[in-house]
Chain A
Amino acid sequence: MQLSKKIVVLGHFGVGKTSLIRRFVENSFSDNYKVSIGVHITKKVVEFEVEDTMSLILWDLEGTDDIKTIRDAYLLGTHGVVFVFDVTRPSTFQLLNSDLDIVKAKLPKTPLFVVGNKVDLVVVSELETLFKNNNIKTNFLTSAKTGETVEQMFLELAKLIK
């Protein structure tokens, strides 16, 4: 039976969680913002080498401005976490470190990637100052719109949890 791992994608609303998954799974993007409620689950088989594949079960969780309210049931059996914020909206990363503490408390020892999305809308060099001022450390800066580092990010996580 094929190896199957669960990745939850979470963060504030409107940061582009659904778009990141859609870019990764279908290689498509839409500018229309549709609010996700509850959870959408999709599956993507990734191939590391010939006959070395893994099923990623991607849980796209409803965005919330209060990470504490995430339903614990959604997190059961999670192997990897992607925490997404929107680099253009400070409200989505101002409390990033305390949000991450909450996630880590809920999912101790689970690999976690911090991802700043929508980088196509900003000048990356300006972000460095912004992150430094807000004491933010990211694993990846992505753009679901252009596809920049989206696949790379999911594949890195897949390797990590393999």
Chain B
Amino acid sequence: MLKKFQQEYATKNVQFILIDFDGAILESDQAFLNINTKGLLVDIHPFFECFFSIKDMLDDELIFNCVHLVVDQKEFVTDIKFLKEEEGILVIISDYTSHYVAYQAIAQTRNESIINGELITIKNAELEERERFKNIFIRNFSHELRNPLTSIISITKIISNTDLTSEQENMIQFLQESNANLKLLLDDILSISMISSGRLKLTENVFSLSQLFELIEFTYKTKAAGKGLKLEVKVDKKIPDYVEGDRLRLYQVLTNLLDNALKYTHEGKITLNVQFNQKRANKVNMRFEVLDTGIGISSDNYDAIFESFNQLNNLNDNPGSGLGLSIVKGLLNLMGSTIKLTSEMGKGSNFHFDISLKQPLQTTNPILKNKKVQKSSKIISDKKYRILLAEDDINVQTVLFKLLLNTGHFYIDLVNDGSLVMEKLINDEYDLILMDINLPNVMGDEVTRLIRDFPFKNIKKIPIIGLTGYSFEDDFASFKKAGMNAVLSKPFDDQDLIDLIFKYV
């Protein structure tokens, strides 16, 4: 009785086929494959073609796992065993379809996830490479632009100080505004490049928030009045006077937001609102809001406006690089904050962010308050100084000659090749060197290292001011490390250069 059931259930998934040594089927129990019992084994499925190559090497038994067989249009996943017997070869086919199908599902998930991971890594590497290329391009491009821009700005200034007709004066004013815009654009592009390449580092110092707000209020009240707008700066009384953070970058964020508000507001007012959120440990959390009564932004565009080079209203009366808000976004990310926006079309926008800044234990800082005092104090002196100018760009040479000679305080010698600097220093005495970085033959920073290693004190100690088209902070740091006393980025402000020279001579 039990044997009948055993036969019924136990053998359903295993089929026994006996063949002769030439592959002709002698017998089959037809357990699950309905085959022609008078045919050849190879007629069942192409898999069995292998029989001819294995029959001679078959000593005892041979097993093939996980073989897909399609018989009568039905697919089975099987293990197939060949056993050598006296009567012929016994072929045992075990149907493990359900087991292998479950295994296939696991393998599918595993392989898909590995492949997707690889493709994401490749995609990321491509994006990084593209980003890196973009940053190198921007860096070199802006460096190349700085020399001609320095010349244009300085020559415009020199011309503006000559006798001009009123028409010429108007044109010069227009030229100066265009120069200033071009310089701003260049600075914006560099900021974006530095933020996205991760080269921008925050510099944290103690500074006065109230002085920062005063400066902003003064600057922007004038700008707003020029457009017939009101500007209000509202600061919560609980906001501390002194905090520790990157003043320059916070200033950059707020001025970019205010410039954006000014650009898109044609009537009404702009408000900078600073609220106290909370204080934890020695950190103060504040909310900064810039509100305007401008044209507003549709919620569909909330993300787009923070992308680089994206101006929604690209009209003539909205000039600018379109980089301001993306700089804001990048800088705030660096500061651990996020820019947020609510806006209503036709009514205005509210850009806001929360930021935590350290509150220093000592809340008054005499150094900060006296910082403005020391400017240009040495210029009163009548003494004349000898300056060696190492610069190969003829336009920059011309500009610096005119600028420095006009002050009446300097004699200037020129070299246009890095390899000639040392010879000049040995033969003549100088009070200061103005050193371009990208000099032919020997770079300015390399020359500086040679000077600082020189055995004679009078040469070794000469003050060196570096002039560079590069404007990344780590470049500056490396030039200073080479031994430069100060580094000035082109295009520089004339007065900044003169002040710096007087600081070191």
Contact = CB atoms under 8 A, between A and B. Distances in A.
Nearest to A62: B66
B63 A73 contact: yes
B48 to A, nearest CB: 9
Contacts of B119: 88-89
B381 interface: no
Nearest to B101: A37
Contacts of B46: 41-43, 57
Contacts of B68: 38-41
B122 A14 contact: no
A88 B126 CA distance: 12
B115 A14 contact: yes
A4 B108 CA distance: 33
B115 A89 contact: yes
A33 B77 CA distance: 19
A50 to B, nearest CB: 24
Interface in B97-130: 100, 103-104, 107-108, 111-112, 114-115, 118-119, 122
A41 B51 CA distance: 14
Contacts of B62: 73, 76
A88 B119 CA distance: 8
Contact of B104 (A37, A57, A63, A73): A37
Contacts, number: 74
Interface in A30-58: 33-35, 37-43, 55, 57
Contacts of B63: 73
A41 B47 contact: yes
Interface string A6-18: 1000000110000
Nearest to B50: A77
A44 to B, nearest CB: 9
A71 interface: yes
Interface in B18-68: 45-47, 49-50, 52-54, 57, 62-68
Contacts of B115: 13-14, 33, 89
Contacts of B111: 13-14, 33, 35, 63
A91 interface: yes
B103 A76 contact: no
B57 A76 contact: yes
B67 A77 contact: no
A131 interface: no
B53 A57 contact: no
Interface in B457-471: none
Interface residues of A, number: 27
Contacts of A40: 68
A43 B46 CA distance: 6
Contact of B122 (A55, A57, A88): A88
A71 B65 contact: yes
Nearest to A63: B111
Interface in B61-107: 62-68, 77, 100, 103-104, 107
Given A14-B115, A41-B67, A35 B107 contact: yes
Contact of B64 (A14, A74, A88): A74
Nearest to A34: B108
A36 to B, nearest CB: 8
B66 A6 contact: no
A76 B62 CA distance: 11
B100 A77 contact: no
Contacts of A34: 108
A63 to B, nearest CB: 7
Given A38-B65, A41-B47, A6 B103 contact: no
Contact of A76 (B54, B67, B114, B122): B54
Contact of A39 (B53, B67, B107, B122): B67
Contacts of B57: 76
Given A33-B112, A89-B118, A89-B122, A4 B66 contact: no
Interface string B364-398: 00000000000000000000000000000000000
A76 B53 CA distance: 7
A41 B108 contact: no
Nearest to A86: B115
A63 B119 CA distance: 18
Contacts of A71: 64-65
Interface in A63-118: 63, 71, 73-74, 76-77, 88-91
A88 B64 CA distance: 33
Nearest to B48: A41
- The CB with the most chain B CB atoms within 10 A, among A34, A55, A57, A73, is that of A73
B23 to A, nearest CB: 11
Given A13-B111, A77-B54, A37 B103 contact: yes
A6 B48 CA distance: 11
A57 B119 CA distance: 33
Interface string B226-269: 00000000000000000000000000000000000000000000
A73 B63 CA distance: 7
B77 to A, nearest CB: 6
Contacts of B53: 6, 76-77
Nearest to A73: B64
Given A35-B104, A88-B122, A57 B49 contact: yes
Contacts of A62: 66
Contacts of B65: 38, 71, 73
Nearest to A15: B115
Given A6-B50, A39-B64, A88-B122, 4 more contacts: A4-B52, A35-B107, A37-B104, A38-B77
Lowest 10 A-B CB distances belong to which pairs? A38-B66, A77-B53, A43-B46, A35-B108, A41-B47, A40-B68, A35-B107, A14-B115, A13-B111, A37-B104
11 contacts: A35-B107, A37-B104, A38-B65, A40-B68, A41-B68, A42-B46, A43-B49, A71-B64, A71-B65, A77-B53, A89-B119
